[in-house]
Amino acid sequence: MNLDDTIVAIATPPGRGGIGVVRLSGPEARAIALPMLRLKHELEAGHAVFGELVEPGGGAEPCPVVTERSSADRIDEVVVTYFAKPHSYTTDDIIEISSHSSPIVLRHVVELALARGARLAEPGEFTMRAFLNGRIDLTQAEAVRDLIDSQTLYQAKVAAQQLEGEAGIDFAEDDISVLPTEQIVQRIATIRGPLEELAATFAYGKIVHEGLTLAIVGRPNVGKSSLFNRLVERERAIVTATPGTTRDLISETVALGGIPVRLVDTAGIRRALDEAESIGIRKSMEAIAGADLVLIVLDSSQPVTEEDTELLEQGAKRPAIVVENKADLSSFPTSVLGSQLPRVRTSAITGEGIGGLRNEILRHIGGETGVQAETGFVTSLRHQSLIREAITALDAAQAAVRGKIPHEMILLDLYNALRQLDEITGATATDDILNLIFSTFCIGK
């Protein structure tokens, strides 16, 4: 990919709206933009200037300062911001033209820029330039993408923290002469420990990044749908309809503790049960298998049935919470099955116990109140795999030291560990990895 040309893209989402921004980055950004602009003042780095977007080629001078307000060649009123190299997002000259967000106007600005030699930016190319020009590292570039993709404010904050580049691993920079074996082993252990701790945070980090799926299972009429609605009503739904899902499983994503939780209600069980009891159970089993957390709902006003027993047995194989619903009715003794699972008594009718159920769910997922929120954690599978590989290389190095393998060979293992960690920040990332990461960005970022 050419890094020296000037790229252009619409930086705001498609559609009509108040303001839309076209962004130009590269050595020719100013020269390409000026002929289509009639500005109130000269461009000045770091300042926004009011002006007009005009058809270029009219005047003799490029970019004459506005003298007459109403001119026939005016397309829109604009605000233009100039970020001078190297103090810009990409470290190159950047011009941002904010017009009204009309797809026609924005596209025209891009076409004018293309006609004057700019190239259409690839997805994520602005951020890629920031990375390749050394302004940010790869984890920060990924944080930009995660921030844009975030579904909850908490996820956005986590990404913003990573964008700041807070996480870091310090290596001792002491001069190292040849040390006794035990000391080498000890030194490797001091690196390995924090890496192991970091890797252990991934289970939680993955939930923060990807959210989790919560299945609500139980016999027909125990109150699954009513509980589902109760859980959803007080939370802001993130996605109301999930296109492409079958009507058998109704799902809705809500933010619980800043984490997107996809609630799956196995409403199809009822319909399936008309055909054969076993299908109903099978549907529940499918929902349980795909869930990170299962709510096993019982009707506490009814004696426990065989079907309940089966669900408790299966559900207990996953992280699960037993919900004894219909607490407002007279209750039967509860089943001892699944007694090791947390239990909550609820009434979907009166609302009793719903707060407790929500807290129990939050306890499971951690969420913004989770202890790990402050200490930093790994949210990316890519980072996690590299940390694991670094640990493996350190283990190999330790084994080599103990096996009295020559020091040069041990260095190879240590270097291998370091290379994995460098790859996290992109210091040694290959083109393939870079393309993979930046292709997941939106255009204009």
Residue 125 neighbours by CB under 8 Å, 6+ apart? 1, 7, 9, 438
Among residues 291, 348, 400, 421, the one that binds ligand GDP under rule CB under 6 A: 348
Q: How far is the CB of 273 from ligand GDP (least distance, A)?
A: 10
Q: Does 349 bind ligand GDP (CB under 6 A)?
A: yes
Compute the distance between CA of residue 139 and CA of residue 383 in angstroms, rounded to an integer.
9
* Amino acid residing at 441: F
Q: Does 329 bind ligand GDP (CB under 6 A)?
A: yes
Nearer to ligand GDP, 39 or 294 (CB): 294
Place of tokens 């109903």: 280
Query: Which tokens go with 340?
Result: 């090791």
* CB-neighbour burial class of residue 276 (10 A; exposed 0-12, middle 13-18, buried 19+): exposed
Q: Does 325 bind ligand GDP (CB under 6 A)?
A: yes
Compute the distance between CA of residue 204 and CA of residue 422 in angstroms, rounded to an integer.
23
Using the contact rule CB under 6 A, the part of the chain among 101-109, 146-154, 272-280, 345-353 near ligand GDP is: 345-353
* Edge-to-edge strands, sheet with 237-239: 237-239, 250-256, 259-265, 212-217, 293-299, 320-325, 343-345
Helix axes 407-425, 181-200, angle to 10 degrees: 20
Q: How far is the CB of 439 from ligand GDP (least distance, A)?
A: 42
- Give, as ranges, the residues between 256 and 275 that touch ligand GDP (CB under 6 A): 270
CA torsion, points 84, 87, 90, 92, in degrees to nearest 10?
A: 40
The contact mask relative to ligand GDP for 401-440 (x = CB under 6 A, - = no) is ----------------------------------------
Residue 34 DSSP label: G
- Give, as ranges, the residues between 206 and 235 that touch ligand GDP (CB under 6 A): 218, 220-226
Query: Which tokens go with 293?
Result: 């957390």
Q: How far is the CB of 222 from ligand GDP (least distance, A)?
A: 5
Nearer to ligand GDP, 330 or 340 (CB): 330
Using the contact rule CB under 6 A, the part of the chain among 33-41, 117-125, 325-333, 407-415 near ligand GDP is: 325-333
Number of residues this chain uses to bind ligand GDP (CB under 6 A): 16
* CB-neighbour burial class of residue 299 (10 A; exposed 0-12, middle 13-18, buried 19+): buried
Beta carbons of 24 and 7 less than 8 angstroms apart: yes
Q: How far is the CB of 189 from ligand GDP (least distance, A)?
A: 53
Q: How far is the CB of 271 from ligand GDP (least distance, A)?
A: 11
Q: How far is the CB of 213 from ligand GDP (least distance, A)?
A: 18
What is the DSSP secondary-structure string of 5-17? S-EEEE-SPSS-E
Nearer to ligand GDP, 239 or 329 (CB): 329
Nearer to ligand GDP, 185 or 349 (CB): 349
Binding site for ligand GDP (CB under 6 A): 218, 220-226, 270, 325-326, 328-329, 347-349
